[in-house]
């Protein structure tokens, strides 16, 4: 585990200039415990089993952001033995498979659907809800399966809003993206297209002028990205977001509440102020889903509510994300507000639009 390491400071890579091609930066990513051992002087042995179980990839950009083992950047991307702890958590915590009419679609709300277009990400987040499938053949849908997904959306007039996700849609090359977007844009009942992508954080070089020109042809198109810590907001990421915003693409951010990374009001306020400054609107603060291998990131719901309460008065309402939990079973996201907290104890009672729900309130526990 990271706290135990007494590693010398890593050799810092120089930040990559945007002009280096994103494909070559991706190819230069770190993918083995041995590379981590060489850079940080740690023992690779305990990490081999973790890397054999869950995919490992850290881009040169992310690597350069690590200041020391165990810091908020490290915790998000470096494998940890805790991932193999027996936690009884489900692999498909949101029960996505039962909302999947065809393999590449998750259709849980009547008016919105997810289209899973890429099984890969630039970097693999250790807290990922889909960590049991991401980066493996289980999420690698063929072009034929994506085409079936598009056909399902075209045949379902209630869907107004499609969200491209995966994996990371922006790991597709421009031609493939153009093909998918062209076919979606031609569906008359689709009112908006959304893309969920972490590349502005992990591989900002992917946000080329050509990509922005391409995306701008498919308006109204929204992009939600995924910054979790203010130290991720560095010049190349600011340039990437600025380029997207200048192309007329509204930007939002979905943060995950992560123990040891951002479970602190001062960190969250700093993050959200920096997001607003680069025209990225904080959208959701997600309570961590219950996915196997992520229990070491868990924080109590009560902490998330404290953070939201602390933000009020210290940052514009524009900068306060909606705190949501996605309870297991797949009923959908439930917004959590401090004033809807009815009872605090080992169980939290929270008032929601669909009645009072009870959420366990302990660290490293379910929800
Ligand atoms: C979160 C989510 C959406 C999008 O929800 P919004 O609240 O509109 O951003 C759509 N489908 C599924 C399955 C989701 O989990
Ligand atoms: S970028 Fe998103 S989908 Fe990919 S590993 Fe991270 S959280 Fe999971």
Residue 20 confidence (pLDDT): 64
In a domain, 76, yes or no: yes
Could you tell me if 264 and 298 lie in one domain?
A: yes
Identify whether 239 is part of a domain. Answer: yes
Asked if 190 and 268 sit in the same domain, the reply is: yes
Element holding 1 (H helix, E strand) = none
Q: Is 126 in the pocket of ligand 2 (CB under 6 A)?
A: no
Asked whether 134 lines ligand 2 (CB < 6 A), one says yes
Work out the burial of residue 154: count CB atoms within 10 Å of its CB; fewer than 13 is exposed, 13-18 middle, 19 or more buried. Answer: middle
Let me know if 130 is a catalytic residue.
yes
Residues 247-295: pLDDT tens digits? 999 999 999 999 999 999 999 999 999 999 999 999 999 999 988 999 9
Q: Does residue 133 have a pLDDT over 90?
A: yes
Secondary structure (3-state) at 283 = strand
Question: How confident is the model over 332-338, as a mean pLDDT?
Answer: 89
Whether residue 224 sits in one domain with residue 107: yes
Q: Which domain holds residue 166?
A: 96-338
Whichever domain contains 230, its CATH number is 3.20.20.70
* pLDDT tens-digit map of 81-117: 999 997 777 777 777 888 999 999 999 999 999 999 9
Q: How far apart are CA 245 and CA 191, in angstroms?
A: 20
- pLDDT tier, 362 (very low <50, low <70, confident <90, very high otherwise): low
Q: With beta carbons less than 8 A apart as the criterion, state whether 204 and 244 touch.
A: no
Do 138 and 181 have their domain in common?
yes
Note whether 167 and 40 are same-domain residues.
no
Atom of ligand 2 nearest to the CA of 130: 8
Peptide bond into 192 cis (omega under 30): no
Distance 28 CA to ligand 1 centre (A): 33
Q: Is 358 contained in some domain?
A: no
The partner residues of 196 in beta bridges, in order of sequence, read 224
Q: Can 326 be counted among the known catalytic residues? A: yes
Ligand 2 pocket member 297 (CB < 6 A): no
User: Checking phi first, is residue 184 left (phi over 0); if not, alpha (psi -120 to 50) or beta?
Assistant: alpha
The answer to whether residues 132 and 238 belong to one domain is yes
33 domain-assigned: yes
Q: Which residues line ligand 1 (CB under 6 A)?
A: 106, 108-109, 112, 114, 163, 333
Same domain, yes or no: 34 and 102: no
Mean pLDDT of the chain: 91
Least confident of 186-190, 198-202, 296-300, 357-361: 357-361
Q: What is the gyration radius of the CA atoms in the chain, in angstroms?
A: 20
Residue 70 resides in a domain: yes
Same domain, 263 and 189: yes
111 is catalytic: no
What is the reported pLDDT for 225? Answer: 98
* 367 band by pLDDT with thresholds 50, 70 and 90: very low
Could you tell me if residue 141 is inside a domain? yes
Instruction: Examine the domain organization and report whether 211 and 138 are in the same domain.
Output: yes
| Residue bearing the bigger pLDDT, 146 or 7 | 146
Q: Of 75, 126, 130, 133, which one is the catalytic site residue?
A: 130
Distance CA 22, CA 258 (A): 28
Q: Is 77 a catalytic residue?
A: no
In a domain, 296, yes or no: yes
For residue 15, name the pLDDT band (cuts at 50, 70, 90). Answer: low
pLDDT at residue number 6: 41
Judge if 73 and 124 occupy the same domain.
Answer: no
Q: What pTM was estimated for this model as a whole?
A: 0.92
| E strands in 215-263 | 221-225, 251-256
Question: Looking at the 3D structure of the chain, how many domains does it have?
Answer: 2
DSSP state of 345: S
Pocket test of ligand 2: the residue of 121, 126, 202, 206 to mutate, having most ligand atoms within 8 Å of its CB, is: 121
Which ligand is closest in space to the CA of residue 100?
1
| 121 shares a domain with 70 | no
Residues 288 and 329 grouped into a single domain: yes
Asked if the structure places residue 351 within a domain, the reply is no
């Amino acid at each position: 585990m990271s706290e135990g390491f007494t590693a010398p400071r890593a050799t810092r890579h120089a930040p990559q200039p945007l002009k280096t091609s994103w494909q070559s930066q991706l190819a230069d990513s770190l993918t083995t415990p041995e590379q981590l051992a060489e850079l940080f002087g740690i023992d690779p042995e305990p990490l081999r089993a973790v890397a054999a179980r869950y995919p490992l990839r850290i881009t040169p950009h992310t690597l350069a952001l690590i200041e020391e083992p165990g810091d908020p950047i490290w915790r998000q991307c470096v494998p940890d033995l805790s991932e193999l702890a027996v936690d009884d958590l489900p692999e498909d915590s949101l029960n996505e498979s039962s909302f999947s009419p065809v393999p590449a679609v998750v259709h849980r709300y009547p008016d919105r659907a997810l289209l899973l277009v890429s099984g890969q990400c630039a970097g693999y987040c250790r807290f990922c809800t889909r960590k049991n499938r991401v980066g493996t053949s289980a999420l690698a849908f063929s072009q034929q399966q994506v085409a079936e997904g598009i056909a399902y959306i075209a045949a379902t007039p209630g869907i107004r809003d499609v969200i491209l996700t995966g994996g990371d849609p922006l790991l597709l090359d421009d031609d493939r993206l153009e093909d998918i977007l062209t076919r979606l844009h031609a569906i008359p009942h689709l009112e908006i297209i959304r893309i969920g992508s972490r590349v502005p954080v992990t591989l900002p070089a992917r946000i080329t002028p050509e990509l922005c020109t391409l995306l701008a042809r498919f308006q109204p198109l929204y992009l939600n990205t995924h910054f979790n810590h203010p130290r991720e907001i560095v010049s190349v990421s600011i340039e990437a977001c600025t380029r997207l915003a200048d192309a007329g693409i509204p930007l939002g951010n979905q943060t995950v509440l992560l123990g040891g990374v951002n479970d602190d009001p001062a960190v969250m306020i700093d993050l959200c102020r920096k997001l607003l400054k680069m025209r990225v609107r904080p959208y959701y603060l997600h309570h961590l889903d219950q996915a196997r291998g992520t229990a070491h990131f868990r924080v109590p719901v009560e902490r998330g509510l404290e953070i939201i309460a602390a933000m009020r008065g210290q940052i514009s309402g524009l900068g306060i994300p909606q705190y949501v939990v996605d309870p297991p079973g797949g009923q959908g996201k439930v917004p959590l507000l401090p004033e809807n907290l009815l009872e605090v104890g080992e169980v939290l009672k929270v008032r929601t639009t669909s009645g009072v729900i009870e959420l366990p309130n302990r660290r490293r526990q379910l929800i």
